[in-house]
Chains A and B, each alone.
Chain A
């Protein structure tokens, strides 16, 4: 039995790094929404600072992956594993950036009381957090069914975002002086919705990894 031990170890390392990125992104989303709810500027700033670490993880994945392509000439599923690692890493990196953007909103809102208690945005964030968790789980287990199931949640996220949009629109008609905060809250909703789209992309990557076909889970 010929084993490509070093190669398999390196592929394992790629997965580990991706899972680590996933966990960090998940936490960044949860914490940024939390800091928004509690208007905790110090916490938000902390989150923003951590972005560099996430970028470093993405770079590590790119380095390991390109070195493996160069030295191991992977084919078939081995090649897909590396290609998929690149794609997922870049999705996760974007998701991290979007979470940071939410934290930045918290900083911008420093000293302004919230127009109302946030309900829909935390709910949306909760669903998306689960999506991130599931997408990484689907990747770990190469579970196509879970990937599809996770992607379905995106519809709910879109609905919620529509709801938020309508509510904010109504509010701004009645309270035009608070327009800037309304706009920022709208952005937050949009950021979360985007994070969900990226999670869906991860699901697509999982399906590609396992089946070599490229479905569109966004539609």
Chain B
């Protein structure tokens, strides 16, 4: 150890990165029947970055995620007030048809849910829905999507095999490839790694770092440390409210709200 006294330099711990906002939520309320599930949510989500939603179970983080591709529409008696703006369009307005929205805002679920079809047909499912029939074009999309999901090298020789022959982690990456195949702008991940082993989880985490160069990623995670590892922005939810959102390193080193600090340090009450 050196005997000289080192003088630490004054340095900001958080670096400011300029992201363009792609999702802008203003004063949004969501009700399931009479239950007020999301309360006055105001939130901006940066483009081509990873945003993580954290918070205790039932805090509304998954609900908010599902408003972004209107998956909540399928739940009867759901009512939404306020604005959910994606790339300049109110997605709950009449000019938006939900099929196009979901094409642009893809989703990966908690449990890998491939169709009982071949690997190829799983990835080609989306493009076929939207009218692509040309075999060469589909081949190209399937290959590109699987490459982007870092699965191509593992499956390129067995594209005709059932998706169920893959391991859990591979199935989840297949689901990511399937979502990418319709060329979305935004990828929603609803606890996409919570059912996976640590190695598969790491692979998907690494993958998100690749994907954020091209896509905006919004993920719900129960694993706070995963949010800290891979997200650029973290949003903390509690009882249907957004308590705080900030750059991840800032939120995890120096949260501005006491409730956030209590939650992330595990003294939640």
Contacts and interface: CB of A to CB of B under 8 A. Distances in A.
The answer to whether A and B touch directly, with their CB atoms under 8 angstroms apart, is: yes
A3 B261 contact: no
Interface residues of B, number: 23
B253 A76 contact: yes
B264 A2 contact: no
Given A79-B253, A216-B10, A198 B5 contact: yes
Interface string B1-40: 1010101111101000000000000000000000000000
B109 interface: no
Interface residues of A, number: 28
A74 B225 CA distance: 10
The B contact surface, by secondary structure, is loop
Given A1-B269, A194-B3, A76 B8 contact: no
B184 interface: no
A51 interface: no
A193 to B, nearest CB: 10
Residue from A74, A90, A194, A212 with most neighbouring chain B CB atoms (10 Å):
A212
B265 A77 contact: yes
A212 B246 CA distance: 16
Contacts of A94: 1, 3
A4 B266 contact: yes
B82 interface: no
B253 A212 contact: yes
B224 interface: yes
Contacts of A2: 266-269
A218 B7 contact: yes
Contact of B228 (A75, A78, A197): A75
Contacts of B267: 1-4
